[in-house]
């Protein structure tokens, strides 16, 4: 069935504060859950919560459908919107769990604060979200490495051209079975710096999951792709000297047995996978330094044979080995196009926890039932 078709709805049969309208005809037969790509197909239902009269309204789970919006909708003009990205995994015994659900919902509220969007009741949202995943449980892929990506988005719905915080909002949670984010899969990605563009600066919104951190990066990313690079490694806005992040992931360097990653100083996203890596490394007694790192010192560490591994981290990217970094006409090639042993261990540990083959000693997984 076409995803844009507005399906028939059945009556609400649930007495909980979450209203439910079931999809009558599932589209799942037309989807290859073993090879879903990333973010192109969507499960049968979505969660919909509106904000009006100064409060968030009753959550509604309804069939995935297209929206009808006024051309004056504030978000389309001025970008008052935030989003999140998290994943649900199917464990060996069929159980479905969400990775670091509460951390993602807290980060969503932090993003709301920066974007003048009213705070959410994360407990109610967590319950509604688990209900959504329960209803679309069969959409959670079985294949190791695949997951159901959960994308909450909140946007201003006032039909008004004034540049001001809106009075009405819509929160939607859509879900999508996904495989690897990058075309490279788990193979190393190739990064380049740019001195022509910047991503974010202190006092801006670089630490927030909001649309305006992504749209302006499309042109530089396109130019980088034309030159054969996967993504841009962003440098600081003032001196083009300090490493920030990749836009779709945070970045780590393993130098002489220790981990180094840029600090959360307002211009980079506080990644949940970044935090997971820092915690695991600390638990394994690997020193972790969250500090300003110049691009030149990475080249120097490479020159001195101290640079062991480079990898990115993110919900979509998981642990992505970096094969090379290009900067000012010079290139570092790491790992001889292979994933490094530390990145491999992190990947196996994080995915082991996510797919319940390893013990969840940090209590990162939330069961949906
Ligand atoms: C994520 O890792 O979930 C992201 O939001 C990054 C990207 C897909 C926008």
Task: Say whether pLDDT at 274 is over 70.
Answer: yes
Neighbours of 369 (CB within 10 A): 9
Alpha carbons 308 and 95: distance in angstroms, whole number = 37
Spell 301-338 as b/e; 16+ CB within 10 A means b: bbeeebbbbbbbbbbbbbbbbbbbbbbeeeebebbeee
Domains of the chain: 2-179 (3.30.470.10), 189-354 (3.20.10.10)
Alpha carbons 57 and 62: distance in angstroms, whole number = 15
DSSP assignment, residue 12? P
Q: What is the pLDDT of residues 290-320, one digit of tens each?
A: 999 999 999 999 999 999 999 999 999 999 9
Report, as an integer, the average pLDDT of 136-146.
96
- Decide: 206 in ligand 1 pocket, CB within 6 A: no
Q: What is the pLDDT of residues 57-102, one digit of tens each?
A: 999 999 999 999 999 999 999 999 999 999 999 998 999 999 999 9
Vertex 234 angle, CA 229 and 240, to 5°: 120
**Residue pair 187/321 in contact by the 8 Å Cβ criterion:** yes
Q: Which residues pair with 46 in a beta bridge?
A: 62
Task: Say whether pLDDT at 1 is over 60.
Answer: no
Q: Whose CA is nearest to atom 7 of ligand 1?
A: 248
pLDDT at 338: 76
For ligand 1, the distance from its centroid to the CA atom of residue 53, given in whole angstroms, is 32
- Decide: 85 in ligand 1 pocket, CB within 6 A: yes
Ligand 1 atom closest to 271 (CA): 2
Q: What is the pLDDT of residues 2-19, one digit of tens each?
A: 333 333 333 333 445 899
Q: What is the pLDDT of residues 213-237, one digit of tens each?
A: 999 999 999 999 999 999 999 999 9
pLDDT at 43: 98
Question: Could you tell me which residues come within 8 angstroms of residue 307 by beta carbon, excluding any fewer than 6 positions away?
Answer: 253, 254, 255, 298, 301, 332, 334
pTM for the whole structure? 0.93
Q: What is the pLDDT of residues 148-189, one digit of tens each?
A: 999 999 999 999 999 999 999 999 999 999 998 888 777 889
Task: Say whether pLDDT at 254 is over 50.
Answer: yes
Alpha carbons 174 and 85: distance in angstroms, whole number = 10
pLDDT at 3: 36
- Decide: 213 in ligand 1 pocket, CB within 6 A: no
Alpha carbons 198 and 232: distance in angstroms, whole number = 10
Ligand 1 atom closest to 315 (CA): 2
- Decide: 314 in ligand 1 pocket, CB within 6 A: yes
Q: Pinpoint the alpha helices (H) of 168-309.
A: 218-226, 272-283, 295-303
pLDDT at 4: 34
Task: Say whether pLDDT at 337 is over 70.
Answer: no
pLDDT at 14: 43
Q: Whose CA is nearest to atom 9 of ligand 1?
A: 248
Q: What is the pLDDT of residues 19-61, one digit of tens each?
A: 999 999 999 999 999 999 999 999 999 999 999 999 999 999 9
Confidence class for position 336, pLDDT limits 50, 70, 90: low
Q: Whose CA is nearest to atom 3 of ligand 1?
A: 85
Report, as an integer, the average pLDDT of 263-271.
96
Question: Could you tell me which residues come within 8 angstroms of residue 14 by beta carbon, excluding any fewer than 6 positions away?
Answer: 20
CA distances from residue 151 to 39, 67, 87, 141, 202 in whole angstroms, order as listed: 9, 16, 9, 16, 26
- Decide: 250 in ligand 1 pocket, CB within 6 A: no
Q: Whose CA is nearest to atom 5 of ligand 1?
A: 85
Helix or strand (DSSP H, E) at 75 = helix 74-78
Query: Which residue, among 187, 191, 229, 207, has the nearest Cα to 347 in the 3D structure?
Result: 187
Q: Is 265 exposed, middle or buried (0-12, 13-18, 19+ CB in 10 A)?
A: middle
- Decide: 150 in ligand 1 pocket, CB within 6 A: no
pLDDT at 187: 82
């Amino acid at each position: 069935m076409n995803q844009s078709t507005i399906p028939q709805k059945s009556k609400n049969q649930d007495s909980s504060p979450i209203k439910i309208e079931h999809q009558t005809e599932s589209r799942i037969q037309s989807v290859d859950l073993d090879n879903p790509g990333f973010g192109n197909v969507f499960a049968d239902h979505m969660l919909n919560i509106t904000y009006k009269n100064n409060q968030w309204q009753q959550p509604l789970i309804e069939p995935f459908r297209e929206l009808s919006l006024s051309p004056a909708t504030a978000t389309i003009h001025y970008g008052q919107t935030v989003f999140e990205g998290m994943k649900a995994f199917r464990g060996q015994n069929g159980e479905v769990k969400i990775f670091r659900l509460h951390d993602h919902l807290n980060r969503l509220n932090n993003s709301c604060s920066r974007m003048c969007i009213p705070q959410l009741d994360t407990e109610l949202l967590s319950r509604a979200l688990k209900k959504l995943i329960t209803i679309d449980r069969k959409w959670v892929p079985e294949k190791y490495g695949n997951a159901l990506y959960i994308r909450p988005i909140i946007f201003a719905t006032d039909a008004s051209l004034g540049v001001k915080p809106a009075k009405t909002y819509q929160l939607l949670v859509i879900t999508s079975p996904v495989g690897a984010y990058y075309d490279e899969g788990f193979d190393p990605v190739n990064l380049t710096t740019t001195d022509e563009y910047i991503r974010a600066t202190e006092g801006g919104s670089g630490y927030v999951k909001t649309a305006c951190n992504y749209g302006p990066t499309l042109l530089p990313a396109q130019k980088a792709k034309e030159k054969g690079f996967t993504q841009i490694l962003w440098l600081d806005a003032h001196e083009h000297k300090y490493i920030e992040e990749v836009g779709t992931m945070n970045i780590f360097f393993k130098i002489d047995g220790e981990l180094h990653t840029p600090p959360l100083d307002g211009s980079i996203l506080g990644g949940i996978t970044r935090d997971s890596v820092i915690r695991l490394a600390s638990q394994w007694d690997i020193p972790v330094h969250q500090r300003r790192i110049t691009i030149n010192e990475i080249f120097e560490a490479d020159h001195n044979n101290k640079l062991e591994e480079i990898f990115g981290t993110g919900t979509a990217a998981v642990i992505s080995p970096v094969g090379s970094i290009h900067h000012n006409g010079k290139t570092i090639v790491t790992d001889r196009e292979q994933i490094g042993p530390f990145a491999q261990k992190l990947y196996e540990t994080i995915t082991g926890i996510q797919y319940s083959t390893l013990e969840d000693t940090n209590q990162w997984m939330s069961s949906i039932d």
